[in-house]
């Protein structure tokens, strides 16, 4: 007599698909967080201008949001920091072109202050960022 008793394995859930989904979600949120962080605070609504000319040789972009906060290269900066960065850029290239992109709801004084810091940094000619009107 053979009293062989077969051993049954307890069923175990297959966790490989779960690991795949978790890896995908972690990757997705890491990428999304980078894009969100790089554009955070940079949401500006530019005013419209019919006579604007596109510039191709822009070296620096100063953004002024609706709250009057300055951004340069995606980072929040103060006026003296703008002046120092512009001064360094002018040392490298005396023909440095700076564009000021001010939100159309921003205080006019904030845009003028940005222009003053740019001029104090050594740039006399700069541009104002606009968009084409919707037709």
Q: pLDDT by residue (tens digit) across 43-84?
A: 677 777 766 666 666 688 899 998 899 999 889 999 999 999
- Tell me the pLDDT band of 34, cut-offs 50, 70 and 90: low
Q: Where would I find the H helices in 70-131?
A: 79-92, 108-120
Percent over 70 (pLDDT), the chain = 76
- Tell me the pLDDT band of 113, cut-offs 50, 70 and 90: very high
Q: Is residue 51 part of a domain?
A: no
Q: Where would I find the H helices in 40-107?
A: 79-92
In this predicted structure, the answer to whether residue 33 has a pLDDT above a threshold of 80 is: no
Domain encompassing residue 114: 60-128
CB atoms within 10 A of CB 23: 10
Q: What is the CATH number of the domain that holds 119?
A: 3.30.420.270
In this predicted structure, the answer to whether residue 40 has a pLDDT above a threshold of 50 is: no
Supply the pLDDT for residue 43.
67
**Alpha-carbon separation of residue 97 from 41, 58, 109, 123, 125 (angstroms):** 23, 5, 21, 7, 7
Q: Is residue 24 part of a domain?
A: no
C-alpha 16: how far from chain center:
37
Supply the pLDDT for residue 12.
79
In this predicted structure, the answer to whether residue 16 has a pLDDT above a threshold of 50 is: yes
The total number of structural domains that make up the chain:
1
Q: Go through the chain and tell me how many residues it has.
A: 135
Q: Is residue 38 part of a domain?
A: no
């Amino acid at each position: 007599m053979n009293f062989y008793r077969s051993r049954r394995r307890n069923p175990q859930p297959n966790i490989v698909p779960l690991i795949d989904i978790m890896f995908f979600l972690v990757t997705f949120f890491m990428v999304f967080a980078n894009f969100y962080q790089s554009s955070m605070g940079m949401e500006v609504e530019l005013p419209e201008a019919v006579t604007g000319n596109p510039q191709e040789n822009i070296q620096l972009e100063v953004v002024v949001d609706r709250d009057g906060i300055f951004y340069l290269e995606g980072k929040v900066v103060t006026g003296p920091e703008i002046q120092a960065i512009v001064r360094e850029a002018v040392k490298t290239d005396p023909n440095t072109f700076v564009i000021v992109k001010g939100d159309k709801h921003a205080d006019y004084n904030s845009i003028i202050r940005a222009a003053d810091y740019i001029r104090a940094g050594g740039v006399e000619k700069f541009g104002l960022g606009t968009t084409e009107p919707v037709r």
